[in-house]
């Protein structure tokens, strides 16, 4: 995705222009890798901007930023909009005249102008969806407005201090911004060590750099700084249609639109597995493009863990690629030792990552980026389409629809010859009642006592494990996963800054229209084992793929490497001095000597933090 960086001084000043210009020069260098097509810097009174262009499409993009229509509002950011034609029609209905070939950036500016001048909020605040992170600077009003899309498809970071706000989609760029301090965010580290990621959506590893949460609006003005939600996934009534075919037709139509809005005119790549999600996207791309392989316009890459164990993922992915007639490349990574290869990647990760096999992803990114600038991912297909039958049946019962509940269950049993999974926690409850407790991770004994006391980490541990009340009456687990803040952080780590190449990862299954529809689907039968997807792909994918049950890894590769003696967690190097504030290293070494399938992963965040601290040990000012 294109790179951008900005510095805004709300209080106008002239004596800091040279300092801001020098800071922006360094920030521009930090985002240059993102945009091989151009790099530019712009200076305005109280505002400095940098932009590096990565041309992807399919929609027209502004070749230069910041963009303005009237000199009153300036846009800087990375934008890819859904529903372009509908947005343009909405603008026309309001009496505006969008030019032919209007860019996504100009659509945003026109919608914002319409709200500012007429008070019409609908187009900008309700109909604007896609993957975006951008800022709108209004010099006359002395206001900066920043936005991130509802699903967090694009990163947005900022640093604010003493009337100055700097922002970028590249965290490393903000290390050169006014007000940056290299002090680490200790709350972030506490959550990371306990949970492998930080559920506080605004926190980053640095105390002075914040992350704009997905679907949020940042306002920076003379009155100060305010962050508030402007978009989110709604909770709506279930959609009950007369014919099963209607559900499939709507799903296929929305999937088609989702892929079409993200499909570049140039070659694309896809991470292909043997499951339903990525194969569905690949099939839809082929449907939209015809025979995608005729001019090598779709290139699929896959990785398996042969010869560590008999991993069949590559076998199934190859069948799909052959059926669709697309280019396919399979690589085997069973000999990839956990946490190995990171030093050779040549990429500095902005934050620590509890990913033991990042080198495999790096290999896939390298293969893909050599073929295309846009990589498709199947992320997002599991959240809703695993089905909470129990919640659905309770919902119907509470509304006096027992007849529908019985009919849905009986219909499923007759069609599938099995009882639908409830996913209501009854199995876990029963195991506990008869004394068969599941293997669960316990509180890490290696947390440094002073750090534990500083943030009451034992209480935080319980808080993070506590189940929150379902926010959705039918799809509670799916809705919680989609809105928890996890996916935006995962997507941040799929960003070009973590890949090291100017590419853009796109996930059609995170499309707002598609998710909104899925969250209204009756759980029976549509959300059990991705029934809606399997029916929609009839004739598009091989029957053996459509009938294939979801197949998680049969063994934990990290644990298997450890059991085979290929890797030991206590051999991952010496402790950095800085890690002693957070981790009792001798106690950690004792813990990792007696690992099991839960404890080995519970210990990984401490190892990952130490590796990350080691990677920045030469950075000046680390506190």
Model confidence pLDDT, tens digit, residues 30-61: 999 999 999 999 999 999 999 999 999 899 99
- Shared domain check, 322 and 213: no
pLDDT tens track for 448-500: 999 999 999 999 999 998 877 778 999 999 999 999 889 999 999 999 999 88
Using pLDDT thresholds of 50, 70 and 90, give the confidence band for residue 436. Answer: very low
Residues 219 and 248 in one domain: no
Domain tally, the chain: 2
Of 194, 181, 182, the C-alpha closest to 455 is 194
Residue 93 and residue 136 in one domain:
yes
Mean predicted confidence (pLDDT) in 541-568: 87
**Is residue 10 included in any domain, yes or no?**
yes
Q: Using 50, 70 and 90 to split pLDDT, how confident is the model at 296?
A: low
For the chain, how far is it from start to end, CA to CA, in angstroms?
A: 32
Which runs of E-coded beta strand occur in 478-568? 504-506
pLDDT of residue 621: 40
C-alpha atoms less than 13 angstroms from C-alpha of 335 in its C-beta half-sphere: 2
Closest to 350 (Cα-Cα) out of 169, 187, 218: 169
Domain boundary among 547, 579, 609: 547
List the CATH number of the domain containing 330.
Answer: 3.40.50.620
Q: What are the residues facing 77 on neighbouring strands?
A: 134
Residue 424 has pLDDT above 80, yes or no: no
Q: How far apart are CA 355 and CA 359, in angstroms?
A: 9
Contact indicator for 79, 134 with CB cutoff of 8 Å: yes
Burial of 222 per CB tally in 10 Å (0-12, 13-18, 19+): exposed
Q: What is the pLDDT of residues 90-108, one digit of tens each?
A: 999 999 999 999 999 999 9
Q: Which of 276-285, 391-400, 612-621 has the lowest mean pLDDT?
A: 612-621
Write the burial class of residue 264 (CB in 10 Å: 0-12 exposed, 13-18 middle, 19+ buried). middle
Element (H, E) at 610: helix 599-615
More confident residue, 565 or 113: 113
Bridge partners (DSSP) of residue 194 are none
SS3 34: helix
What the block records as the tokens of 34 is 């993102």
Distance between CA 253 and CA 113 in Å, rounded?
Answer: 32
Cα dihedral 272→277→281→282 (10° resolution): 30
Integer Cα distance of 166 and 179 in angstroms? 9
Please indicate, yes or no, whether residues 61 and 153 belong to a single structural domain of this protein. Answer: yes
CA angle 246, 250, 251 (to 5 degrees): 115
Are residues 121 and 259 both part of a single domain?
A: no
Name the 3-class secondary structure at 85: helix
Q: Which domain holds residue 180?
A: 3-229
Contacting residues for 428 by C-beta, under 8 A, at least 6 apart: 438
Considering the domain architecture, whether residues 53 and 182 belong to the same structural domain is answered as: yes
One domain, residues 344 and 379: yes
35 lies in the same domain as 139 = yes
On whether the CB atoms of residues 180 and 209 are closer than 8 A, the answer is yes
**97 and 77 Cβ atoms separated by less than 8 Å:** no
- Residue 609 included in any domain: no
Whether 257 has a pLDDT exceeding 80, the answer reads yes
Backbone angles phi, psi at 489, to 5 degrees: -75, -35
- Asked whether residue 621 is assigned to any structural domain, the reply reads no
pLDDT at res. 348: 76
Residue 84 within any structural domain of the chain: yes
365 close to 372: Cβ distance less than 8 angstroms: no
Residue pair 545/276 in contact (Cβ under 8 Å)? The answer is yes
- CATH assignment at residue 34: 3.60.20.10
Residue 418 in any domain: the answer is: no
Question: Is the domain of 378 the same as that of 336?
Answer: yes
Let me know if residue 614 belongs to a domain: no
Contact call for residues 141 and 121 (beta carbons, < 8 A): no
Regarding whether 129 and 9 lie in a shared domain, the answer is yes
Residue 463 domain-assigned (yes or no): no
Give 112's DSSP letter.
H
- Nearest partner of 104 among 1, 33, 27, judged by Cα: 1
Say if residue 512's pLDDT is above 60.
Answer: yes
pLDDT score of 14: 65
111 is a domain residue: yes
Based on the domain organization, do 211 and 253 belong to the same domain? Answer: no
CA separation for the pair 490, 378 (Å, rounded): 13
Q: Is 42 helix (H, G, I), strand (E, B) or coil?
A: strand
Q: How buried is residue 109: exposed, middle or buried, by Cβ count under 10 Å (0-12/13-18/19+)? A: buried
Q: Which of 522, 547, 572 is the last residue of a domain?
A: 547
Q: Per-residue pLDDT tens for 151-205?
A: 999 999 999 999 999 999 999 999 999 999 999 999 999 999 999 999 999 999 9
Per-residue pLDDT, 427: 38
User: Do 147 and 111 have their domain in common?
Assistant: yes
Confidence at residue 551, expressed as pLDDT on a 0 to 100 scale: 74
- DSSP states of 219-235: EEETTEEEEEE------
Residue where a domain stops, chosen among 181, 206, 229: 229
R_g of the chain, CA atoms, integer Å: 25
């Amino acid at each position: 995705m294109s790179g951008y960086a900005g510095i805004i001084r709300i209080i106008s000043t002239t004596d800091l222009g040279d300092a801001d210009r020098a800071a922006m020069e360094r920030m521009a260098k930090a985002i240059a890798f993102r945009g091989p097509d151009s790099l530019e810097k712009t200076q305005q009174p109280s505002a400095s901007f940098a932009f590096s262009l990565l041309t992807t499409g399919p929609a027209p993009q502004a070749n230069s930023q910041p963009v303005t229509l009237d000199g009153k509002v300036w846009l800087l950011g990375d934008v890819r909009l859904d529903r372009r034609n509908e947005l343009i029609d909405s603008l026309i209905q309001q009496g505006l005249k969008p030019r032919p070939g209007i860019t996504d950036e100009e659509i945003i500016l026109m919608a914002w102008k319409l709200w500012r001048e007429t008070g019409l909020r609908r187009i900008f605040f309700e109909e604007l969806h896609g993957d975006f992170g951008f800022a709108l600077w209004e010099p006359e009003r002395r206001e900066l407005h920043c936005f991130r899309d509802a699903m967090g498809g694009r990163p947005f970071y900022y640093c604010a201090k003493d009337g100055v706000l700097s922002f970028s989609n590249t965290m490393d760029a903000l290390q050169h911004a006014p007000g940056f301090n290299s002090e680490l965010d200790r709350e972030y580290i506490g959550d990371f060590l306990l949970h492998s990621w930080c559920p506080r959506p605004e926190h980053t590893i640095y105390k002075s750099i914040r992350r704009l949460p997905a679907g949020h609006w940042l306002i920076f003005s003379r009155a100060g700084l305010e962050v508030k939600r402007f978009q989110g996934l709604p909770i709506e009534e279930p959609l009950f249609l007369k014919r099963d075919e209607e559900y499939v037709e709507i799903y296929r139509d929305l999937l088609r639109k989702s892929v079409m809005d993200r499909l570049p005119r140039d070659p694309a790549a896809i991470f292909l597995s043997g499951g339903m999600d990525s194969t569905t996207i690949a099939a839809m791309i082929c449907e939209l493009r015809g025979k995608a392989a005729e001019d090598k316009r779709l290139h699929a890459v896959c990785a398996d863990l042969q010869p560590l164990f008999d991993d069949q993922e590559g076998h199934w992915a190859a069948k799909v690629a052959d059926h669709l007639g697309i280019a396919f490349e399979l690589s085997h990574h069973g000999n990839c030792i956990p946490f190995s290869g990171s030093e050779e990647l040549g990429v500095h990760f902005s934050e620590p990552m509890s990913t033991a096999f990042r080198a495999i992803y790096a290999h896939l990114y390298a293969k893909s980026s050599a073929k295309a600038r846009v990589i498709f991912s199947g992320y997002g297909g599991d959240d809703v389409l695993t089905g909470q039958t129990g919640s659905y049946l309770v919902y119907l019962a509470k509304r006096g629809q027992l007849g529908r509940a019985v009919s849905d269950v009986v219909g499923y049993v007759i069609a599938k010859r099995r009882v639908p999974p409830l996913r209501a926690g009854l199995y876990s409850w029963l195991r506990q009642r008869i004394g068969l407790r599941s293997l669960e991770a316990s509180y890490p004994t290696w947390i440094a006592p002073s750090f534990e006391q500083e943030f009451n980490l034992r209480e935080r541990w319980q808080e993070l494990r506590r189940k929150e009340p379902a926010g959705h009456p039918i799809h509670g687990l799916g809705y919680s996963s989609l809105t928890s803040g996890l996916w935006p952080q995962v997507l941040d780590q799929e960003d070009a800054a973590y890949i090291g190449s100017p590419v853009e990862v796109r996930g059609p299954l995170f499309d707002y229209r598609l998710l909104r529809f899925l969250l209204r689907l009756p759980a029976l039968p549509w959300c059990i084992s991705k029934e809606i997807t399997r029916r929609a792909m009839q004739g598009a994918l091989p029957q053996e793929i459509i009938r294939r049950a979801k197949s998680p890894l049969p063994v934990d590769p990290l644990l298997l490497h450890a059991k085979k003696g290929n890797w030991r967690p206590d051999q991952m190097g010496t402790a950095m001095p800085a890690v002693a504030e957070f981790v009792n290293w001798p106690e950690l070494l004792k813990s990792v000597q007696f690992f099991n399938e839960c404890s080995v992963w519970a210990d990984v965040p401490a190892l990952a933090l130490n590796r990350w601290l080691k990677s920045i040990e030469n950075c000046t000012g680390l506190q």
